[in-house]
Amino acid sequence: MTTQQLHEQILQKKSFLCVGLDPDLTKIPQHLLETEDPIFEFNKAIIDSTHDLTVGYKPNTAFFEAYGIKGWMSLQKTINYINENYPDIFTIADAKRGDIGNTSSMYAKAFFEDLNFDSVTVAPYMGKDSVEPFLAFENKHTIMLALTSNEGAFDFQTLNTNGKELYKQVLETSKTWKNSENLMYVVGATKAEYFTEIRKIVPDSFLLVPGIGAQGGSLSEVCKYGMNDKVGLLVNSARAIIYASKGTDFAEKAREEALKVQKEMAEIIGLKFQV
Ligand SMILES: O=c1ccn([C@@H]2O[C@H](COP(=O)(O)O)[C@@H](O)[C@H]2O)c(=O)[nH]1
């Protein structure tokens, strides 16, 4: 998927919501545990009930890898289900990969070719040769961690290195890499006050923004400081949507929560873009 197609879908759906698929067997409704593949059944129901309100799905691979080979198969079924039934929806493998180039190439193949995700999250710590193998894939996107939503982001990412905070250095340097037009960046919603500075460095890039909902970030603050003239944001929420209910009505309740976020987004888009 191109960023232009993503932008068009955002305007059409009046939404820049990305629903996080973080299935946890201790949290999903009891009745699903009797099915052959509870994780897939859970995801499928969430996807079917929210697909018109969201432009992206972000399965976090940890929540699949934790269940071994069965979890990996649930991930494959989930991405296939989205690609077959809702091919316009942007998919993100939240895997936070990155290694020496030779190994990164294999990670890129796994997520872009085998699983056919539109994008994958990558950690920048190992530098240029660890990220460029992901960038080589046409119409695929590499979403690099810039300033994360957690408290530990202040341990390293905001440290001053040669007169500049590390996350700014990461943003600036990454722009010089081959095929950098395929980059997007992760910026936490809990760090809304940093968006103005970030937009000075990457005015046109899409930002994946986790941290509204369960982590308490503010959607309106993120939009105020982070939105560009093409929206340029994919705002993720997982637990607040997918675990809105533990009962048989979980998919319905997930839709209600997603709708609340989408309505707020529609209002913001309407005000800013007169659509
Ligand atoms: O900085 C980051 C990077 C990734 N995440 C991931 O996003 C979701 C957030 O889930 P919620 O339930 O909406 O809090 C989860 O998969 C994280 O691993 C992040 O939160 N912050």
274 alpha carbon to ligand 1 midpoint, in Å? Answer: 31
Q: Atom 11 in ligand 1: which residue has the minimum CA distance? A: 238
Burial class (CB in 10 A: 0-12, 13-18, 19+), 102: exposed
Distance CA 239, CA 244 (A): 7
Relative to beta strand 207-210, strand 233-237 is: parallel
Ligand 1, CB cutoff 6 Å, lining residues: 20, 22, 60, 94, 148-150, 186, 188, 210-211, 213-215, 236-239
210 alpha carbon to ligand 1 midpoint, in Å? Answer: 5
- pTM higher than 0.90 for the full model? yes
Q: Helix, strand or coil for residue 243?
A: coil
Active-site positions read 96
Pocket test for ligand 1, best of 143, 144, 215, 236 (most atoms within 8 A of CB): 236
Predicted confidence (pLDDT) per residue in 208-220, tens digit = 999 999 999 999 9
Q: Atom 10 in ligand 1: which residue has the minimum CA distance? A: 238
Predicted confidence (pLDDT) per residue in 80-136, tens digit = 999 999 999 999 999 999 999 999 999 999 999 999 999 999 999 999 999 999 999
Q: ipTM of this complex > 0.95?
A: yes
252 alpha carbon to ligand 1 midpoint, in Å? Answer: 23
Domains (range + CATH), the chain: 3-273 (3.20.20.70)
Distance CA 55, CA 5 (A): 11
Closest by CA position to 272, among listed 12, 14, 2: 14
